[in-house]
Amino acid sequence: MKHIFVLMFCCLFIACSSDGSKSSFRQLPDASGRIDEVLVVMDAELWEDTTLNSIGSTVRDLLQQEFPGLPQPEPYFTLSYIDPVKMVPLLQRASNMIYIGTTTGQGLGSRTIQEYIKNLSPETRQKAEYMFSAKDVWAKPQQVTFVYADTREGLLNVLLNNEENIIKRLQKPENAKALRNAYASQVNHDLTNTLKEEFKLDLKIPNSFRFVKKTEDLFWVRQDIEGEVSNMMIRVIPFTNDSMYSGKYAIIARDEVGKYFFTDTPGSHMITDLRFEPIQETVKIDGDLAIESRGLWRMSKDFMGGPYVNYCFKDKKNNRIIILDGNVYAPQWKKRRPIRKLENLLKSVKMF
């Protein structure tokens, strides 16, 4: 056990400097893992205790919370677990890892956290409080996050009181992964240039998307994969009053966009399924505030539906409202990954 710990920590220490930056003299292998896959590393005695309010059950509940706005329950993350004493080089290539332990524990997972904390700079250690991350430790691109407290009771409180921060920290590299995945087909320069020249929006359209429709105020592209259709629908609307920047108007505007999405059934078009209340929050897009809406869509007179993510924000320079709508139709498949791709594509838009 001692030899395993020394070897494991030496690798970790050589790979990174005390502030978590990557050392420049190591050639790292490519990281592995699909979108939103997370490898949990913690001592078995903590993980295997799944009694009520235990650390093991709390970690599971935290990381497998239901992702918002999907028709069937799916968790935020697809989890894998490894006892640190069983860690092997292949698993060290996971692109997103989280170590969880205490600063007083004697297990390999906790002792790894303790040794790494010792080598943080005083400034980084003070900022860390209960969590910090290191980049490109054993692979590239990779994020290794450490969550800790002095005692088990303290660790339980950290997990219970910082759910949102921990989820956002783990989602950060997954957002970048979703974009890399979306652009694996490269950029469609013709569609990108059309959007830029005619709509004054800089959004790189992946080559896997094809043109569907363009009007004076609408731009629509879609991606067709076996059993899965992803749409990006963009609309620009002259800004006339402050009520246009509101959660209510965001839904009205997306339903206006939905009129362009119809089937062969007469009078059938896409509408927001208000049987399920939209989940809305304020986010930032290109430095400006935007209303993010998530929920379900359906056809008004047909049997089709799925999840959507929508952004409504004011383009102050051009005095207009921008509506960005991403929606997925994949009746046979899970929808978290495609909606996450659309989410990150749409949020990458730039205005000029």
Q: What pLDDT score was predicted for residue 146?
A: 98
C-alpha to C-alpha distance for 190 and 156, rounded to whole angstroms: 52
217: CATH: 3.40.1000.10
Cβ atoms 304, 298 nearer than 8 A: yes
Q: What pLDDT score was predicted for residue 25?
A: 55
Q: What pLDDT score was predicted for residue 60?
A: 97
Q: What pLDDT score was predicted for residue 124?
A: 85
Beta bridge partners of 82: 41
Determine if the peptide bond prior to 141 is cis (ω within 30°). yes
Q: Are residues 125 and 214 in the same domain?
A: no
Q: Are residues 317 and 271 in the same domain?
A: yes
Report how many domains make up the chain: 2
24: CATH: 3.40.980
Q: Are residues 165 and 194 in the same domain?
A: no
State which amino acid sits at residue 160. L
Q: Are residues 337 and 194 in the same domain?
A: yes
Q: Are residues 150 and 13 in the same domain?
A: yes
User: What Å distances lie between residue 155 and 4, 57, 159, 257, 326, CA to CA?
Assistant: 25, 13, 6, 47, 38
Q: What pLDDT score was predicted for residue 15?
A: 47
For residue 286, the enclosing domain spans 186-351
Q: What pLDDT score was predicted for residue 17?
A: 40
Where are any strands of DSSP class E within 62-154? 78-82, 96-102, 131-135, 143-149
Q: Are residues 20 and 123 in the same domain?
A: yes
Q: Are residues 127 and 16 in the same domain?
A: yes
Among 146, 181, 216, which residue terminates a domain?
181
Q: What pLDDT score was predicted for residue 22?
A: 45
Q: Are residues 75 and 210 in the same domain?
A: no
Q: Are residues 168 and 270 in the same domain?
A: no
Where are any strands of DSSP class E within the chain? 37-41, 78-82, 96-102, 131-135, 143-149, 201-202, 209-214, 218-225, 228-238, 270-272, 279-285, 288-299, 305-315, 320-329, 350-351
Q: What pLDDT score was predicted for residue 129?
A: 86
Q: Are residues 170 and 246 in the same domain?
A: no
Q: What pLDDT score was predicted for residue 115?
A: 93
Q: Are residues 168 and 29 in the same domain?
A: yes
- pLDDT tens digit sequence for 289-336: 999 999 999 999 999 999 999 999 999 999 999 999 999 999 999 999
pLDDT less than 70: residues of the chain? 1-25
Q: What pLDDT score was predicted for residue 190?
A: 98
Q: Are residues 12 and 139 in the same domain?
A: yes
C-alpha to C-alpha distance for 56 and 45, rounded to whole angstroms: 9
Among 156, 181, 206, which residue terminates a domain?
181
Q: What pLDDT score was predicted for residue 341?
A: 97
Among 181, 206, 234, which residue terminates a domain?
181
